[in-house]
A = this chain, B = another copy of it.
Amino acid sequence: MLLIINEFLSKEELHYMQQQAKQALWEDGTKSAFGVAKNVKNNSQASLDSNNGLQLSNFLLSKMGNHPQFVSAVLPHRIFPPRVNRYEKDQQYGFHVDAAIMSIPGTQEVLRSDVSITVFLNEPQEYDGGELTIEGAFGTQQVKLKAGDAVVYPSASLHSVSTVTRGYRLAAISWIQSMIPDSNIREQLYHLDQSIQNLHQSDNHKSELNRLSNVYHNLIRHFAQL
């Protein structure tokens, strides 16, 4: 599922992140690329060794854990520490599939990348190029969103960031291991949960909502791998 979340960040949150990013220490983006991806990556990223880089990462980590629609769609189990990256003019990230297994820096743990997220941190008018291009089950999709918007997509898809030809592009990225490994089941659970939320707001069919809610929890129980 390719899901676009408008205003993932509020104006204030976006402003805070932009300020932190300005003061961050920038390092070569290939430091966090695995395998084949290393050869096609060409950008810079906020170092986690700098205070600001770490705060950006932790801020987004906590945001992801608390955003209802994101949680409903992704059912996150483990989240890779988010990184802010920056593509200057003539930089790009060629087509690649994200590595399936990633070591979480500074821990002994590994994570299976089920879902990728990109949060756009400056406005599309500020740069030319820099589209996130995703080749998925349903043909090619080009994504370039407003500052504060986010896109969530399968890590299994082939994707790229096309060359920036004017200005610079600022965005944050992360990878998530879902509690529900099967993407089809995860998508049906998302729809079931959203239906329950929507019926809840406008409705007094309480016993049916309880029943649907039990179905939802029992399906989560059936499929969750922790």
Q: Looking at the assembled complex, report how far the CB atom of A116 sits from the nearest CB atom of chain B, in whole angstroms.
A: 12
Contacts of A101 in B (CB 8 A): 179, 220, 224, 226
Q: Determine whether A128 belongs to the interface, using a CB cutoff of 8 Å to chain B.
A: no
Q: What chain B residues lie within 8 Å of A183 (beta carbons)? A: 137, 184
Instruction: Say whether, besides A112-B224, A137-B136, A191 and B217 are in contact (CB < 8 Å).
Output: no
Across the interface, do A1 and B137 meet the contact criterion of CB distance under 8 Å? yes
Residues of B within 8 A of A187 (CB): 137
A155: chain B residues within 8 A (beta carbon): 221
Is A226's CB under 8 angstroms from B110's CB? yes
Please tell me which one of the listed residues B1, B156, B158, B192 contacts residue A184 in the complex, with CB atoms under 8 A apart: B156
- Do A195 and B177 have beta carbons less than 8 Å apart? no
Beta-carbon nearest neighbor of A223 in chain B? B181
Task: List which A52-91 residues lie within 8 A (CB) of chain B.
Answer: 77-78
The segment from A12-20, A166-174, A199-207 found at the interface with B is A199-207
Task: Name the B residues within 8 Å of A179 (CB-CB).
Answer: 101
Q: Which among B134, B154, B158, B181 is the interface contact of A214 at CB below 8 angstroms?
A: B158
A187 to B157, CA, bound (A): 11
The answer to whether A215 touches B191, judged by C-beta atoms less than 8 angstroms apart, is yes
Which residues from B are CB-within-8-Å of A195? 208, 211-212, 215
Contacts of A199 in B (CB 8 A): 199, 205, 208
Q: Could you tell me if B225 and A225 are in contact, using CB atoms closer than 8 angstroms?
A: yes
- A114: which B residues are within 8 A, CB to CB? 221
Q: A191-B215, A211-B191, A211-B194 are in contact. Are A137 and B154 (CB under 8 A)?
A: yes
Contact partner of A226 among B1, B112, B191, CB < 8 A? B112
Q: What residues of chain B lie closer than 8 Å to A134, measured between beta carbons?
A: 138
- Which residue on B lies nearest to A216, using beta carbons? B100
**How far is it, in angstroms, between the C-alpha of A217 and the C-alpha of B226 when the chains are bound?**
21
23 A-B pairs, CB-CB below 8 angstroms? A2-B137, A78-B226, A99-B217, A100-B220, A101-B179, A101-B226, A134-B138, A138-B138, A138-B139, A139-B141, A156-B184, A156-B217, A156-B218, A158-B214, A177-B226, A184-B222, A188-B219, A188-B222, A195-B215, A198-B205, A199-B205, A199-B208, A225-B225
